[in-house]
Structure 1
Amino acid sequence: MLLFSRRRVWALILTGLIFFFLISFRRLNSAALSSVGLYPKNGSPHGAGGDSLASYWARIKPHYPVDSMRPLPTGSPSALPPVQTTFAPESATDRSLRLDRQAAVKDAFLRCWKSYRQKAWMSDELAPISGHRKGHFGGWGATLVDSLDTLWIMGLREQFDEAVAAAASISFETTTIKEVNVFETNIRYLGGFLAAYDLSGDARLLKKAREVGDMLYAAFDTPNRMPMTRWDLHAASRGQMQVAHEHVLLAEIGTFSLEFIRLSLLTGDPKWFDAVQRIMEAFQEQQQTSHLPGMWPVVVNARKMEFDKHTDYTLNAMADSLYEYLPKTHALVGGLLPMYREMYEASMDTAIRYNFFRPMVPDGNDILISGMISAKSDNSHTKLRPEGQHLGCYTGGMLALGGKLIQNQTHVGTGEKLMDGCVWAYQAAPLGIMPELFYALPCKSTEQCAWDEKLWVQEVIDMAGLNNLDVDSADAEALIAKKRLPKGYTHIPDARYILRPEAIESVFVLYRITGRQDLIESAWKMFEAIDQNTRTELANSALGNVLEDKPPMSDSMESFWLGETLKYFYLMFSEPDLISLDEYVFNTEAHPLKRLLPT
């Protein structure tokens, strides 16, 4: 008995020493990581609140586990150049007007939020005319999660607390749809939870972010660790093996760095950082081997990891956010990952040379539009498709932000002209709302571009597929009137407005960077035109044709209306220190994530 007791005592002592060592090591490791912002000082590798219970998706054994995990970046973040300008004190009159406009935006948000709360709570979307529910984005409450940080930013604490409690109950173990869009899930759900956590510090939000992150990480369980961008979640849950697809959109495989790296920084778990770096390192290796060196084609092969073979190159739809995330990731990590700055500079050198064109417009404004390039075999054979897209309006803000971060005034100036191009597209349109897609006539010279009415009419005829010799002046006038083409537009193949945020996004960013006072009025005109023409009895609806006096409504209100568009309008009329661009970086769904800053 005595021998047994002594052994037991020594075992207990040894166990205690081991436990003490592990706790001490964990605290030291946590403190070291906290020094560069890898997760909160009172956090743990399991996330805020010390959640040690693995989520459903974290418990599923992978078929292709990672052999060697990339470690999180270490060192002190750099003091990157400031982004925001210094604003002069505003007069009492200006302040009163600004606050009135801010209140109008907040009222528009509350109207929509109330209707969503009453008729579509916990669903992905509210149908703003019929009041029905929609579930296009997994059935996990996309509007609810997308709106969390907007609620916080607008000071709606009661609604925020209710929304967080509801969001905490969402289960990501299954879905209501057949196939999950991993890109959309990442930017809306993971980005939404991370931003709301960064703003509020509510531990429940980081717990949900980790749950979403674990689910998304399962989509990377392929032989080469490239993700399933359109993912059969049900099959993965059953343990079926999966292989990355051969035809993948550039944006859908290249838009993870902000959310995945931020999640790894907050939790101390490097697996998400490792996952995204595998993608981005492959992109960097092939950046100069594409048909348009410096850029990547719209379609890539994830299965073979070929990111340089196709022929169409754009910063617009299907490619957009890959480019957007390069300077933003550089800002997020405080310059600790130089590859993102390098990739941004190389891609923009090419885009500035090939993709941006000056359109011929009646007042001769020096503006730019972001178009599409088709390249054959090498960049000596390129063809510009002079199309402008509402989605492409983010490019102005991206280049201005990137230019400030790397102290490149050419980028800032180019971004300003791209933003001015989108403001023109709004102001020239019949209702003051830019269409989804349009064409314009590129100027022969970016230095001088006088308006030529005959040349514009000829281009309209050509774009209509008619023979110019068979169309007299009366016929041309009738064609222009029938198509309701504003001067400067040559063709509008898609006249919808789906409540998009990209134009006001760039106006907001350029206002914060330049302080241009005319942008305040431009933003207000945009808001008035959008709200007046999209308002329904319940909320706001996408429009079918902005060329008509009373455009038809499509009974659609995507979550980004509350998560992005109204947020940017609200911030446009806020004090400049509310979500400062020197402290936060927005993901492509307008979710602000905290930047690593030097201590």
Structure 2
Amino acid sequence: MPVLSRRRIGAYLLAGLLVFFFLSFRSLDTDGFTSAGRRPGVATSAAGDHPDGEHVTGRPQSRWKRLKTQYPVTSFRPIPTGTPLTLPKVQKDFGTESDADRKERLLRQHRVKDTFTRCWNSYREKAWMSDELAPVSGGRKDFFGGWGATLVDSLDTLWIMGMRSEFNEAVAAVANISFETSKEKDVNVFETNIRYLGGFLAAYDLSGDERLLEKAVEVGEMLYVAFDTPNRMPITRWNWNDAARGKAQVAHENVLLAEIGTFSLEFTRLSLVTGDPKWFDASQRVMEAFQTQQPKTHLPGLWPVLVNAKKMTFNEHTDYTLGAMADSLYEYLPKTYALVGGLLPMYREMYQSAMSTAIRHNLFRPMLPDQEDILVSGLVTARLEDGQVVTKLKPEGQHLVCFAGGMLALGGKLIENQTHVDRGEKLTNGCVWAYKASPLGIMPETFFMLPCESTRQCKWDEQLWMQAALEKAGMSINDINPEEAAAQIAHRRLPKGFTAIPDARYILRPEAIESVFILYRITGRVDLLESAWAMFRAIDSNTRTELANSALHDITVTEEKPSMSDSMESFWLGETLKYFYLVFSEPDLISLDEYVFNTEAHPLKRLLP
């Protein structure tokens, strides 16, 4: 990706107009499938089956279910059974709240809900059933199959915010979405899994509405076909037209780590609620392959950002990160362990090994003018040179990798590792610092910083910082006078501490508030509520349009209002505003001791003893 987006890696371009027109009217060879010949909204498919052959709802099988399997599984991994373990408590025991604190918290919560409601009403009026609302022009966009990504992503947010009439209307609408048609030639299996399958499962877990389970099974049946390859590794950018025709499929050679490794939560939960082991089996085969090769990479414990799914070799590439292209694979390790109540210890072991390496190699303390003790997660290149592994840190921060603070804090609580909790806290503090240090109070998409030589102490050296900033711009501080050096840095609008900001966008991302929410639920730190409120006000005031909220091109501008990109991805309603709402909610609303959030912020019920 120009920096690829976590949980939405690769929002790729629509097919060309002529191709789209052709596909819209062409009939496929398999049981009447069409690419875009029917508008989403006419229900033609149904829920899947239980292993005993009885339909979940009694409706006809979906056509994906009836499609002949090219490479059938002869023995399924059994769904985890037994009494779930009593895992360590995650959330802090919050004491009695004063009347003044409660009043202030609820006022902030209502402000967040008002913003959500405003965006939801505009989507409902101008882009209903489409994937996204264009928040400036009022148009509609379809980047994620044309199946109403914002509609599905928002289901559980509507429920959590108590908007029952809007929720019921939305459920009635999604019941009519057909996942046998699409406005796109290729399906991003990763995005479809986290947004649609995750969205339906979470809304079902919260409401118990069987129509949502029907849709979850319907999406699950479609996604399962992407795993129908000789080695059962999924095709992540999947030509579903070829699959629908019965054409044999082979997994690809260059696959993003996150895109192949982010199925265990949704697929396991779907198997648990249906009793059908095939989805658990599908994701488990992938994760077992990762487990086998985890100690064999150039940076044992971590996997590189690109893997070969066709050959099932996950250890050849040289770049290692917790950020874009890799993120949610690591996020799902402790969360899957929690989801199944500790019945799959392999996920705990894989998480421990991965984070031990990441803490040692990827996390760094940046040099800051206020000398605050924070951490940032960067990218490490690990190469073999003369038989030895040589590593090099790229000190690039990302808004996307802000999720890692919450992951480490949560994982540390689950496995009783205080070091993880402490590192997670410092990573989260780092993201809060980046918000506060930025001119608009919003951190950029990507940025560079100067790593300290020691994590114990790091004295600010302005000359050294200026030198690093100029080197990132291709200049040397020795070749220009101090006035010119200061002018160059001012021209690049670099707050002190940042050495470069190559991508100054803000795309309504949730990762920073996600970790603030998790850390607040774990620690009860009151200052996190103030940080969350400052973040929300900065975001809402700078991104607000007449209709909703829009992504920004450049958050470093100070002379004028930042320009808007007319984009509002579904995660704004499905994630960002949900986390803002929950941080100002009572702690028992979606307790972290009862739910885990998938990487699209959809809460799934944990197995509890």
Q: Is residue 569 of structure 2 the alignment partner of residue 558 of structure 1?
A: yes
Cross-structure match for 1:35:
none
Cross-structure match for 1:577:
588
In the comparison of the two structures, how many residue pairs are matched?
Answer: 556
Of all paired residues, the percent bearing the same amino acid is: 72
Q: How do 1:11-26 and structure 2 match up within 5 A?
A: none
Question: Contact 2:57/2:214 (CA < 8 Å) preserved in 1?
Answer: no
Q: Is residue 424 of structure 2 the alignment partner of residue 406 of structure 1?
A: no
- Distance in 1, matches of 2:183 and 2:480, equals 53
Cross-structure match for 1:593:
604
- Distance in 2, matches of 1:168 and 1:410, equals 46
Cross-structure match for 1:305:
312
- Distance in 2, matches of 1:44 and 1:218, equals 17
- Distance in 2, matches of 1:46 and 1:199, equals 27
- Distance in 2, matches of 1:49 and 1:94, equals 46
TM-score w.r.t. the length of structure 1 is 0.92
Q: How do 1:401-550 and structure 2 match up within 5 A?
A: 401-549=410-558, 550=561
Cross-structure match for 2:370:
363
| 1:274-312 deviation line (CA, Å, top 9, x unaligned) | 000110000000000000001000000000000011100
Cross-structure match for 2:38:
none
Q: Is residue 164 of structure 2 the alignment partner of residue 154 of structure 1?
A: no
- Distance in 1, matches of 2:480 and 2:166, equals 60
State the Cα distance separating 1:46 from its structure 2 match: 7.1
Q: 1:337 to 1:51 in 2, by over 3 A?
A: farther
- Distance in 1, matches of 2:411 and 2:200, equals 25
Question: Contact 1:371/1:388 (CA < 8 Å) preserved in 2?
Answer: yes
Aligned counterpart for 1:81 among listed residues 80, 88, 93: 88
Cross-structure match for 2:9:
none
Q: Which amino acid aligns with 2:164?
A: R
Cross-structure match for 1:61:
68
Question: Contact 2:153/2:574 (CA < 8 Å) preserved in 1?
Answer: yes
Cross-structure match for 2:396:
387
Q: Which amino acid aligns with 1:402?
A: G
- Distance in 1, matches of 2:480 and 2:326, equals 38
Q: Which amino acid aligns with 1:574?
A: S
Q: Which amino acid aligns with 2:112?
A: V
- Distance in 2, matches of 1:255 and 1:44, equals 24
Q: Which amino acid aligns with 1:555?
A: D
| 1:480-539 deviation line (CA, Å, top 9, x unaligned) | 111110000000000000000000000000000000000000000000000000000000
| 1:293-332 deviation line (CA, Å, top 9, x unaligned) | 0100000000000001110000000000000000000000
State the Cα distance separating 1:364 from its structure 2 match: 0.6
Q: Which amino acid aligns with 2:449?
A: A
Cross-structure match for 2:197:
190
Q: Is residue 232 of structure 2 the alignment partner of residue 225 of structure 1?
A: yes
Q: For 2:191, what is the secondary structure of its paired residue?
A: helix
State the Cα distance separating 1:468 from its structure 2 match: 2.5
Tell me, which stretches of 5 or more residues in structure 2 are unaligned? 1-49
- Distance in 2, matches of 1:477 and 1:46, equals 72
Cross-structure match for 1:40:
none
Q: For 1:223, what is the secondary structure of its paired residue?
A: coil
Question: Contact 1:291/1:379 (CA < 8 Å) preserved in 2?
Answer: no
Q: Which amino acid aligns with 2:590?
A: I
Q: How do 1:102-141 and structure 2 match up within 5 A?
A: 102-141=109-148
- Distance in 2, matches of 1:290 and 1:52, equals 47
Q: Is residue 382 of structure 2 the alignment partner of residue 375 of structure 1?
A: yes
State the Cα distance separating 1:48 from its structure 2 match: 9.0
Q: 1:218 to 1:426 in 2, by over 3 A?
A: same
TM-score w.r.t. the length of structure 2 is 0.90
Question: Contact 1:126/1:134 (CA < 8 Å) preserved in 2?
Answer: yes
Q: 1:482 to 1:234 in 2, by over 3 A?
A: same
- Distance in 1, matches of 2:105 and 2:62, equals 45
Q: Which amino acid aligns with 1:358?
A: R
- Distance in 1, matches of 2:53 and 2:483, equals 72
Cross-structure match for 1:205:
212
Q: 1:45 to 1:268 in 2, by over 3 A?
A: farther
Q: For 2:86, what is the secondary structure of its paired residue?
A: coil
- Distance in 2, matches of 1:268 and 1:138, equals 28
| 1:376-412 deviation line (CA, Å, top 9, x unaligned) | 1277410000000000000000000000000000000
State the Cα distance separating 1:74 from its structure 2 match: 1.5
Larger of the two Rg values belongs to structure:
1
Q: How do 1:286-301 and structure 2 match up within 5 A?
A: 286-301=293-308
- Distance in 1, matches of 2:164 and 2:53, equals 27
Query: RMSD value over aligned CA atoms?
Result: 1.2
